Amino acid sequence: MAEVAQKKVSAWRALGMALGNRKTGFMLLFGFASGLPFALFLGTLFAWLSEAEVDLETMGIFSLIGLAYAFQFLWSPLIDKVDLPVLRKLGRRKQWIVPMQLLLGTILVTMSALEPRTQLGMFSLLAGIGAFASATQDIAINAWRIDVADETATIDILSTVYQMGYRLSSLVGGALGLIIAARIGWPETYMMMGGILLAVGVVGLWAPNAEGAAELGEGDEQVRALRRAGELNPAVRNRALVLVGLLWAVAIGTVLAFMIMSMTYAPEDRPNPTDFTLNIGPWIIVATIVLPALIAGWLASQKKQGRHLLVEDAPAASGGAYALDHLYRALVLPLVEFVGRMGWSLVLILAVVLTYRICDAIWGTFAYPFYLGELQYTNDDVAFASKFFGVGAIIAGLALGGFLLTAIGRMPTLLIGGILAALTNLLYADMANGGANMQAFSNAIGFTSLIEQVPGIGDAALAKLTITIAFENLAIGIAGAAYIAWLSSIVSKKFSAVQYALLSSLTLLVGTLGRGALGEMIEKQGYYDVFVLTTWIGLGAAVLVCIEWWRESRGKDAAGVVAPEAGEVAPAE
């Protein structure tokens, strides 16, 4: 008993030290800066356009800016490899973070001075540039979080705090933005939001950098190391680079062609964004992740087997060979390192990535049709339950998840979060069946009486919806805190931008493939059966987490020490 009490005290002490660290404070700020543009460009912007009486067909073009977030991994190698003149002095990650924040702030302020209906061309151009700047910022911030983690500001706490900032900014840029705009107007609202991002960019100048080799030109050292004895023969590497380069070039060309066609063709000839994401999106993932991973796996196996290796140091590369080595380091080496380090365990890791957040990734598309169409709630009901109460529940879940990560560890929290997130689908199944059980529970604990005090909309029906969303979001918060921490821990700090962007982008594959099938199932069988199915999928993901937990434990036991994973540091004693 005394040992358990000591662990609890240690957990609280470690949590307090992490929250008091300046890295954690900047992580909250960067999380807020990451979520605010997303909410403004892909949420409240459409409310402004609607109020300005921009037609729906034209607004559909603005949905294209979401591609910047969906395919951000396509330029993640640039963020990992390219140094910006003069700005490199800010630090490896801050050279991208700070300029993007200042650019975003400037774009929002400039948009506030435009009239959407009469200046739509410039307005849409700024929104598009802003989306790419926002996605670029996200890549760099995720890499910064992994790079700066240490024994005090652990990757677990930094990941949790990042999500808290992100969720808070979604509330500020979303629901709060609508409220502010109704009182002072859209131009003034966007000017205010732009000012916030400009201030964050200035404050970000003082954010700490990662210590050690990652900040001291490790990339150049990795390029030079490619020519040493025992490394793969340059001719073999270059053939692999050509294959991967062609795959990435085709993928990038496809995305650019789609965007150019969408912005320049007549309305009736424009490609459908939904069809592109659904039908072409998965193939882009195959071309830029799946096939390059197979090529990287072959390269890693050749090195392990001692084939195609340099028997002695090769002369330093120059000219075209030097450029090819740098391209190999940017595009292929991150995958070779990851596949070589994980081996066949990569199959298990990908299975967890593809299933753990599947309910979350797919459900968002059908949430409002379910609330408004199936359950017949009003917009005000849904706004209260999901935007205000729901966001609060997610933040509470993140806080609880952060404490559990510190108190019991990453893998137990990942398992608990996965099980809870899966089981909350049964609450929605009850709602689809009339919600009798959720209503009885809400009445029994006095929650219904509390919600009935909400002016104008409070009633028993709103209470059961609110408590259902609250439980789901609480579970999502716990699961999200653990999942992002786990995902961050398995990537290498040497290639954090590329590896994290590639892994996190796999949720696109889940969403694009899953939404069509789920929508068809809803049409044929109704919501109840869908929620039962997603419960089983979530529980299957929890089983995979158990296997991953066993794999990690076995790896540490085999090493004879409790060793940190690639992207983390050992917790403080």
CB atoms within 10 A of CB 555: 12
Is 528 part of a structural domain of the chain? yes
- Picking from 279, 301, 331, the residue at the C-terminal end of a domain is 331
pLDDT at 563 over 50: no
In a domain, 339, yes or no: no
Instruction: Report the greatest alpha carbon distance in the chain.
Output: 79
* 525 in the same domain as 396: yes
Same domain, 187 and 259: no
What is the extent of the structural domain holding 536? Answer: 346-559
In terms of domains, do 327 and 368 share one? no
Same domain, yes or no, for 324 and 357? no
If phi over 0 gives left and psi between -120 and 50 gives alpha, with beta otherwise, what is residue 306? left
The CATH number assigned to the domain holding 150 equals: 1.20.1250.20
pLDDT in tens, 338-375: 998 988 888 899 899 888 887 776 666 677 778 888 88
Mean pLDDT of all residues belonging to the chain = 84
208-250 residue pLDDT tens: 987 644 454 566 677 788 888 888 899 999 999 999 999 999 9
Q: Is residue 266 part of a domain?
A: yes
Both 427 and 551 in a single domain? yes
The mean per-residue pLDDT over the stretch 504-528 comes to 73
Which of 298, 331, 364 is the endpoint of a domain? 331
Among 38-47, 129-138, 191-200, 397-406, whose mean pLDDT is lowest?
38-47
Q: What percent of the chain has pLDDT over 70?
A: 87
Count of domains observed in the chain:
3
By percentage, how much of the chain surpasses pLDDT 90?
A: 38
Q: Is residue 570 part of a domain?
A: no
Mean pLDDT of 500-521: 72
pLDDT of amino acid 562 = 40
Mean pLDDT of 456-460: 86
Strand-pair partners of 232: 309
Q: Is the pLDDT of residue 145 over 60?
A: yes
On whether both 283 and 393 belong to a single domain, the answer is no
297 is a domain residue: yes
pLDDT at 106 over 90: yes
Q: Across residues 520-537, what is the average pLDDT?
A: 86
* Residue 260 clears pLDDT 60, i.e. is over it: yes
Domain end, chosen from 297, 331, 365, is at: 331
What pLDDT is attached to residue 49?
Answer: 83
Contact (CB, 8 A) for 28 and 167: no
The b-or-e profile of 436-454 (16+ CB within 10 A means b, else e) is eebbebbeeeebbeebeeb
414 and 266 in a common domain: no
Half-sphere exposure of 471 (CA within 13 A, CB side): 18
Residues 404, 287 share a domain: no
pLDDT of 291-334, one tens digit each? 998 999 999 999 888 888 888 888 887 778 888 888 888 889 89
Do residue 110 and residue 177 come from a single domain?
Answer: yes
pLDDT at 236: 92
pLDDT at 175: 77
Task: List the beta bridge partners of residue 309.
Answer: 232
462, 443, 438, 467: which is closest to 381 by C-alpha?
Answer: 462
**Does residue 205 lie within any of the structural domains?**
yes
Q: Is residue 338 part of a domain?
A: no
Q: Is the pLDDT of residue 131 over 70?
A: yes
In a domain? residue 573: no
Rounded to the nearest 5 percent, the helix, strand and coil shares of the chain are 80, 0, 20
Which pLDDT score is estimated for 1?
43
Q: What is the CA radius of gyration of the chain?
A: 24
- Nearest-angstrom CA–CA distance, 101 and 158: 20
One domain, residues 350 and 412: yes
Contact 142, 497 (CB under 8 A): yes
Q: Are residues 386 and 488 in the same domain?
A: yes
Q: Are the CB atoms for 477 and 416 separated by under 8 Å?
A: no
Residues 508 and 374 in one domain: yes
pLDDT digits (tens, 9 = 90+) for 181-217: 888 999 999 999 999 999 999 999 999 987 644 454 5
